[in-house]
Amino acid sequence: MNRSYIGGDWVEGKSVLKNLNPSDINDCVGEFECIDQSQTNEAIQVASDATTDWQEIGIHRRAEILDSIGSKILERKDELGTLLSREEGKTLPEGLGEVERAGHIFKFFAGEAVRISGSSMDSVRYGVDVEISREPLGLVGIITPWNFPIAIPAWKIAPALAYGNTVVFKPAGLVPASAHALTEIISESGLPSGVFNLVMGSGSEVGAAIVESPLISAVTFTGSVETGRDVLVKTAERQAKVQLEMGGKNPLVILDDADLDIAVECALNGAFYSTGQRCTASSRLIVTSGIHDHFVTRLVERMEKMKVDHALEPGTEMGPVVDETQLKQDLEYLEIGRSEGAEIVSGGIQLERKTKGYYLAPTLFTETSNNMRINQEEIFGPIATVLKVKDYEEALSAANDTSFGLSAGICTNSLKYSRHFRHKSEAGMVMVNLPTAGVDYHVPFGGRRNSSFGPREQGQAAAQFYTATKTAYISS
């Protein structure tokens, strides 16, 4: 039974939900208990009371604790990766890779904890010194999505703790087992009780308590644009600090001079790995006319060879869609695309496998225009579109013609175009001859427009969100 963890205790919930394996819905990964709003408020109180303890423990001990969490995650990689793939449906290599990334994130922020620094300068008034320092915020509320069940929690929890904050963490209901396992590791790391709390339950009870509580100084959220807006409005009302990571409709531009092998692998990886369920997925493939037909033929050949199966089956390249609701949304977008006049050249059908799961063939639309809904709205499934354009200029303008701006990629051998694209792309991250998805843990992550709000995540940039700046003036 997966329970919430509050003030150092595993706490009984008010209702029980099943956690089903999307590769095999007859496999119940486990049950988890949901707590309600008043229990969440108790967790918030406990975490708020623990802030002084955590700040006074000092940076050396904080670093040691974070480093040991990172080591334990890496030691238990096989078990955690298998669990993650079983409950989320990404392939085992993807699950293992994600766990490894989470371990490295904790180790990175262990190092950052002892490097928290400020600056000093002379005041414009002679005889006065100015010292600028970073201080903890207090209590941080963390709300995470289901598509990266351990990496996204890690890249929010690790910096929150490293910079001296206490945490209330609400994972997505579809992936409670990974959250529980991570919490188990954190609970054994020597943290004072109340510093880290896991609160499992619904958005309307647990999420609402986090967003509305005056005891929470900052809320970091990754999820849908719709929920993100709600979090933004509610936190703005009480002037809490907020950081949002939401959707994407990321363009991958393929120019005539691209290396075709590289372009096809970037598109395949970016569009279909993790079943396309990444906010960084390459969902719009913008292809110039000279390479268009070759590219489509080669990508379709590769897609048809892709092994779509149970996430834990050796050799699987793409696992199932995460659940029935997401599958329904994906199927609806197939209809929307067809009705808009786009053509499906590969996929577009549900697949049956030995086990009953939410299998959908990787799908490619061609004959699209950029104003179609399938080119403007985030689908969050294994569905990509091809947009044929005349030249680089048209490709760039289509790439930027979106309400999102998370990641953008270009496949080309031209220094001129890759350099121009790097400067003119209106996305937060630009990839050259690489998929739009798959990011490092030690550099800033985030986007523009509807994709993100607030300071960047990860790397040293994380300090901007998880700390408050203090400016001190000192005269003798």
Residues marked as catalytic:
245, 279
Q: Which of positions 318-357 make contact with ligand UN1 (CB under 6 A)?
A: none
Residue 128: how many other CB atoms lie within 10 Å: 12
Q: Which is nearer to ligand UN1, 72 or 278 (CB)?
A: 278
> Token pair of 108, please?
């990175």
Q: How far is the CB of 222 from ligand UN1 (least distance, A)?
A: 5
Joined together, the tokens standing for residue 445 give 């992550």
Contact range with ligand UN1 by CB under 6 A, out of 157-165, 347-355, 433-441, 464-472: 433-441
Contact 443, 459 (CB under 8 A): yes
Regarding 439 and contact with ligand UN1 (CB under 6 A), the answer is yes
Closest to 294 measured CA to CA, from 264, 250, 268: 264
Between CA 100 and CA 74 the distance in angstroms is 6
Minimum CB distance to ligand UN1 smaller for 146 or for 392: 146
**Contacts for 414 with CB less than 8 Å, ≥ 6 apart:** 255, 257
40 binds ligand UN1 (CB under 6 A): no
Backbone angles phi, psi at 410, to 5 degrees: -140, 135
For tokens 């956690």, what's the residue?
A: 19
Residue choice 109, 148, 273, 359 for contact with ligand UN1 (CB under 6 A): 148
Contact (CB, 8 A) for 48 and 138: yes
Q: At a CB cut-off of 8 Å and minimum separation 6, what does 126 contact?
A: none
**CB-based contacts of 262: which residues, under 8 Å, 6+ apart?**
411, 433
Q: Supply the minimum distance, in Å, between the C-beta of residue 457 and ligand UN1.
A: 8
Tally of helices (H runs) and strands (E runs) in the chain: 16, 20
**Beta carbon nearer to ligand UN1, 152 or 162:** 152
Contact region with ligand UN1 (CB under 6 A), list: 116-124, 201-209, 235-243, 436-444: 436-444
CB of 146 to ligand UN1, least distance (A): 9
Residue 437 binds to ligand UN1 (criterion: CB under 6 A)? yes
Nearer to ligand UN1, 164 or 435 (CB): 435
CB nearer to ligand UN1: give 48 or 243: 243
Which listed residue (112, 245, 309, 317) binds ligand UN1 by CB under 6 A?
245
Q: Which stretch binds ligand UN1 (CB under 6 A): 126-134, 210-218, 259-267, 435-443?
A: 435-443
Least distance from ligand UN1 to the Cβ atom of residue 218, Å: 18
Binding-site size, ligand UN1 (CB under 6 A): 12
* Dihedral (CA of 332, 333, 334, 336) sign: positive
Q: How far apart are CA 463 and CA 140, in angstroms?
A: 13
At closest approach, how far in Å is the CB of 320 from ligand UN1?
17
Alpha-carbon 281 to chain mean position: 11
Q: How far is the CB of 433 from ligand UN1 (least distance, A)?
A: 16
Q: Minimum distance between the CB of residue 386 and ligand UN1, rounded to whole angstroms? A: 21
Both tokens of 206, joined, read 């647990």
- Is the CB of 68 or the CB of 269 nearer to ligand UN1? 269
Residues between 181 and 210 with contacts to ligand UN1, criterion CB under 6 A: none
Q: Does 438 bind ligand UN1 (CB under 6 A)?
A: yes
Q: Are 142 and 244 in contact (CB under 8 A)?
A: no
| 175 lies in the site for ligand UN1, by CB under 6 A | no
Under the binding rule (CB under 6 A), the answer on residue 100 touching ligand UN1 is no
Do the beta carbons of residue 174 and residue 86 sit within 8 Å? Answer: no
213 contributes a contact to ligand UN1 by CB under 6 A: no
Separation of alpha carbons 253 and 267, rounded Å: 10
d(CA 378, CA 65): 38
Q: Does 144 bind ligand UN1 (CB under 6 A)?
A: no
Report residue 288 as tokens. 């110039």
Measured between alpha carbons, how far is residue 320 from residues 87, 175, 313, 356, 387 in Å? 11, 15, 12, 10, 26
Stretch that binds ligand UN1, among 53-61, 117-125, 142-150, 195-203 (CB under 6 A): 142-150
Give, as ranges, the residues between 257 and 316 that touch ligand UN1 (CB under 6 A): 278-280
Residue found under tokens 């290396």: 259
- Least Å distance, CB 143 to ligand UN1, is 12
Closer CB to ligand UN1, residue 383 or residue 439?
439
Give residues in contact with ligand UN1 (CB under 6 A). 145, 147-148, 152, 222, 245, 278-280, 437-439
